[in-house]
Structure 1
Amino acid sequence: MALPTSVVSAKPASHAAGLLVFFVREGEKLAPVDGALDGLLSRCAKEEEFTGKEGQVLSLHTHGKIGAERITVIGIGKEKDADRTLEQLRTAASRAVKLAKSAGAKSLAIVVPAADAAQLQSLAEGASLGAYVFDRYKREKKPLKLSRLELLVDAKPARALTDAARLGCEIADAVCAARDLVNEPPRYVTPRALAAEARKMAQQAGLKCEVLGRAQIEKLGMNLFLGVAQGSAEEPQLVRISYEPARANGKAVALVGKAITFDSGGLSLKTAQGMEDMKTDMAGAAAVIAAMRLVAALEPPFPVRGYFGACENLPSGTAYKPGDVIVGKNGTSVEVLNTDAEGRLVLADVLAWAVEDKPAALVDLATLTGAILVALGPWTAGLFSNDEQLANELLACARRAGEPLWRMPLPAEMEELIKSPVADLKNTGGRFGGSINAALFLQHFVGKVPWAHLDIAGPASIDKERGYNARGGTGAGVRLLAEWIRRRAAVSPPARAPAPKKR
């Protein structure tokens, strides 16, 4: 749950708080309350060589000389561009919350550098993201004493500023919900449980949610999906979440998430170490569920639909096998060479299903390949797209949201690597260019719809704390999708009321 956050007009020197935080750019003067502290802040800064470099921290107890009990100055480095500034503020706000937590402060006041809506949103986001902890299964919990976050501005805050802070909290709340799903053990987040979470979210947000079981999936001809699912006793679940505005203006957009709730590799079994984090293989679906929650809050003038096919990939006497040929929903036959390349098979059928709704644009998110980590490292997602405008939109939204994203190629000449001698395609293309081969495979199931594939295998889960992301699930993709929907809504003309009927 997001921190209780408010935008307050107040003078920092007299404002009562457990911890008062200022942000300082490299080389800038220190906080204006230095005079009220008889210059103690500047003297300590000189002694500790504090210059405002990004990540530097200077903390003091005020001994009652100003309204706050403690004061902290956090360096945010040099100014580069507007998007980078927002990320610096998210990170610094997260740091402020962690300092307040370690100090046992019950209230935190952050002095807002500029009365700008985007900055208010980023501060609210970063603070609540930094407060996140997954300790559900720990015997000893450390409850957060911090009960109030105040963002201090000079004048009475305009509604745009309070709305921005509220949106930042809503986004952080949705991201943390996605993190929870990714962090939960696979014995609890089964395909049925994930579908139930989608249904619960939809009910709370006023959205429609359809959940289909094995028999209905079979009727739809989704044999690739069922092939992956057949090794597990858990029933597969096919989910579509729909947002429909009262007066729709424009075609729908579609969001698709990979939802392998546990991936053992199937008969092409992973190593024990390779299986350790495979509860996170449903991070794409978690992002879609969380993003649809935000769609309901953003209320775009066009429909938005979220899809995922949830199942487990396990070895058993009924599991699909290397050498199998399976015909997918759109009629494409696939030779299975490796049962551990299962995500693209399930996604293929779900993408083909989503395309039948004729969306204006289609974005999928998947922890699809280890190869993308080799290419881009652990913190950057790979972007593959058949549409230049859509790709550029997503890159711009990723920069604004603070989610690193890099455009990858879809070279036609590499198609021969996924051609099969016995079927239309094979589900692996060899050792080299693995993430590209996977994206090329998916492209066969989207037709001519503008489509983007985000391979989030790196940033979906991290092995140690980094900035405002705690160890474990990060909620990768949620903020990017929210920004993308928000921007598309901003450029869409408002829906017209239906014309009155002639009598």
Structure 2
Amino acid sequence: MEFSIKSGSPEKQRSACVVVGVFEPRKLSIPAELIDNAARQHLSDLLRRGDMEGKAGSTLLLHNVPGTEADRVLLVGLGKEKEFREKEYRSAVATAIKTLNETGGFDGTVFLTELPVKKRDVAWRVRQAVIVAQETLYRFDRLKSKKDDVRRPLRKVTFCVERRSELAAAETALLQGDAIAAGQALMKDLANLPANFCTPTYLAEQSMSMAGEFGLEAEVLEREDMEKLGMHSLLSVARGSHQPPKFIVLRYKGGKAEDKPVVLVGKGVTFDTGGISLKPAPEMDEMKYDMSGAASVIGAIKAAAMMKLPLNVVAVVPATENMPGGQATRPGDVVTSMSGQTIEILNTDAEGRLILCDALTYSERFEPDCVVDVATLTGACVIALGHVVTGLFANDDGLARELLDAGQEAYDRAWQMPLWEDYQEQLHSNFADMANIGGRPGGSITAACFLSRFTKKYDWAHLDIAGTAWRGGKKKGSTGRPVPLLAHFLMARAGIGD
């Protein structure tokens, strides 16, 4: 898909289709009014006849509108003007792009980016429009023998801004949006692949390939390397699998050599059966998404490289399967982490924290400015927050605020949860320094408390994306979250963006 930015009047656009909005009830947006004036109130007449009310999600495709240069004019319903905010704006753009892709025209000129959104400037509107457009057009059909190809797919979209003075900011935002969307698409591709394709080895290979494309430094540690480093917690998860574990490190050096990096750690369990503590069969196929944290940090570092952010970023991915078997770790086993702390494994299905804790200890060697780990860690987080927001935990309130703000800017929101010392008591073990679970009460909190024991030497935050990384049911698939949040966080750290 090719995107561009333009400033001009809608009735003068030579395009396969011009897109303008209509508010409810039957109120033309300013770009729509300009077309209406050129067309001698043709649009107004149609609205008066009841062809369209302007309800959110509705569309009306018009051909050969008098006074215009475009082949078609697409009216998109925006809902009530007073209620038109971020969600409604994104939905309107998605509706427009989906409809454009079905019209048979190769290009479209979209004036929805001129619509005012409360507290959002033109850069935000353009950036979001590009991200939403790419999300709308994303398909994962590489494993299908017969693909549902669009007969004449949309190839080019032009987003319009009201004033020429806005063009520079809009152009920059377009490039940012395209980079973030590319990072999201990479995450989706990796996460949507089934586990017989996306193994730890495949994840390492794809990371190395991306590193070569974008000039990143890359390193992959093998089982023997992990053993030498004392990563026995991570390796305890890998014991039951025939697939060898991989420990992937990607380094983007966009900042000064002396600048401390931001480290992103992603949970990379490419399939999670639960191990000996076997999961129930229904929906176990969705456990291919248990590497969504890994996919998201790989996608985020790709976005950073595409934007050429003046920032140093390291992505750390511990990758393994969690399988039952004769060599698999048993409930009650005690292992020693890379930090030297011992862990009694009471439930082998609480494996994400076991691989993350060694990755968090390994991250100390980068002398990080901060560390953010991303993981589909707990079902308890889904119960607490549903599928709307990501759970956020942090040992530094300033870092937490940065991530919350980035989530708001990206419309990929998070909600801060408590990380109080009171919860640590639930991790008590009679036989080791700690247990890997703390019981059902506050399950997402005690999981974060476990991780916090390995992050004493730096500012750290944990994103529990169990409820937001993918959707199930008929629309099953990766959401690409929280790549937008992470990308906006890195942009803010680099002093770039709104």
Q: Same fold (TM over 0.5)?
A: yes
Structure 2: how far apart are the matches of 1:63 and 1:34?
Answer: 9
In the TM superposition, residue 152 of structure 1 has moved relative to its aligned partner by 2.4
Structure 2 equivalent of residue 98 of structure 1: 98
Structure 2 equivalent of residue 316 of structure 1: 325
Structure 2 equivalent of residue 146 of structure 1: 154
The 3-state SS of whatever aligns with 2:90 is helix
Structure 2: how far apart are the matches of 1:80 and 1:328?
Answer: 55
In the TM superposition, residue 370 of structure 1 has moved relative to its aligned partner by 0.8
Q: 1:450 to 1:79 in 2, by over 3 A?
A: farther
In the TM superposition, residue 85 of structure 1 has moved relative to its aligned partner by 4.3
- Please give the residue correspondences for 1:231-270 in structure 2 after superposition, counting only pairs within 5 Å: 231-245=240-254, 247-248=256-257, 250-270=259-279
In the TM superposition, residue 164 of structure 1 has moved relative to its aligned partner by 1.6
Note if 1:124 corresponds to 2:123.
no
- Asked if 1 retains the 8 angstrom alpha-carbon contact of 2:413 and 2:485, the reply is no
Match of 1:57 among 49, 56, 59: 59
The 3-state SS of whatever aligns with 2:356 is helix
Structure 2: how far apart are the matches of 1:218 and 1:73?
Answer: 62
- Asked if 1 retains the 8 angstrom alpha-carbon contact of 2:255 and 2:312, the reply is no
Structure 2: how far apart are the matches of 1:18 and 1:463?
Answer: 36
Structure 2: how far apart are the matches of 1:187 and 1:491?
Answer: 40
What is the identity percentage for the equivalent residue pairs of Structure 1 and Structure 2? 39
In the TM superposition, residue 464 of structure 1 has moved relative to its aligned partner by 5.6
- Please give the residue correspondences for 1:130-279 in structure 2 after superposition, counting only pairs within 5 Å: 130-144=136-150, 145-154=153-162, 156=164, 158-245=167-254, 247-248=256-257, 250-279=259-288
Structure 1 equivalent of residue 3 of structure 2: 5
Equivalences, count: 484
Structure 1 equivalent of residue 18 of structure 2: 20
In structure 1, stretches of 5+ residues that fail to align are 493-503
Structure 2: how far apart are the matches of 1:416 and 1:359?
Answer: 29
Structure 1: how far apart are the matches of 2:249 and 2:279?
Answer: 30
Structure 1: how far apart are the matches of 2:246 and 2:82?
Answer: 46
How large is the Cα RMSD of the aligned pairs? 2.3
In the TM superposition, residue 298 of structure 1 has moved relative to its aligned partner by 3.2
Structure 1: how far apart are the matches of 2:273 and 2:50?
Answer: 51
Note if 1:423 corresponds to 2:432.
yes
The TM-score normalised by the length of structure 2 is 0.92
Structure 2: how far apart are the matches of 1:375 and 1:280?
Answer: 20
Q: 1:12 to 1:354 in 2, by over 3 A?
A: same
In the TM superposition, residue 150 of structure 1 has moved relative to its aligned partner by 1.0
- Asked if 1 retains the 8 angstrom alpha-carbon contact of 2:54 and 2:76, the reply is yes
Q: Which amino acid aligns with 1:137?
A: L
- Asked if 2 retains the 8 angstrom alpha-carbon contact of 1:223 and 1:329, the reply is yes
Q: 1:394 to 1:341 in 2, by over 3 A?
A: same
The 3-state SS of whatever aligns with 2:146 is coil
Q: Which amino acid aligns with 1:476?
A: R
- Asked if 2 retains the 8 angstrom alpha-carbon contact of 1:351 and 1:446, the reply is yes
**Superimposed CA distance per residue, residues 60-80 of structure 1 (whole angstroms, 9 cap, x where no aligned partner):** 333565222322222344678
In the TM superposition, residue 24 of structure 1 has moved relative to its aligned partner by 4.3
Structure 1: how far apart are the matches of 2:370 and 2:205?
Answer: 27
Q: Which amino acid aligns with 1:406?
A: W
The 3-state SS of whatever aligns with 2:282 is helix
- Asked if 1 retains the 8 angstrom alpha-carbon contact of 2:175 and 2:307, the reply is no
Structure 2: how far apart are the matches of 1:346 and 1:415?
Answer: 19
Match of 1:36 among 25, 35, 38: 38
- Asked if 1 retains the 8 angstrom alpha-carbon contact of 2:161 and 2:167, the reply is no
In the TM superposition, residue 356 of structure 1 has moved relative to its aligned partner by 3.0
The 3-state SS of whatever aligns with 1:158 is helix
In the TM superposition, residue 42 of structure 1 has moved relative to its aligned partner by 2.4
Q: Which amino acid aligns with 1:13?
A: E
- Asked if 2 retains the 8 angstrom alpha-carbon contact of 1:92 and 1:126, the reply is no
- Please give the residue correspondences for 1:375-394 in structure 2 after superposition, counting only pairs within 5 Å: 375-394=384-403
- Asked if 1 retains the 8 angstrom alpha-carbon contact of 2:182 and 2:303, the reply is no
Structure 2: how far apart are the matches of 1:158 and 1:8?
Answer: 7
The 3-state SS of whatever aligns with 2:485 is helix
**Superimposed CA distance per residue, residues 66-121 of structure 1 (whole angstroms, 9 cap, x where no aligned partner):** 2223222223446789xx84554333222211111222222111013168222222
In the TM superposition, residue 449 of structure 1 has moved relative to its aligned partner by 1.3
Q: Which amino acid aligns with 1:398?
A: G
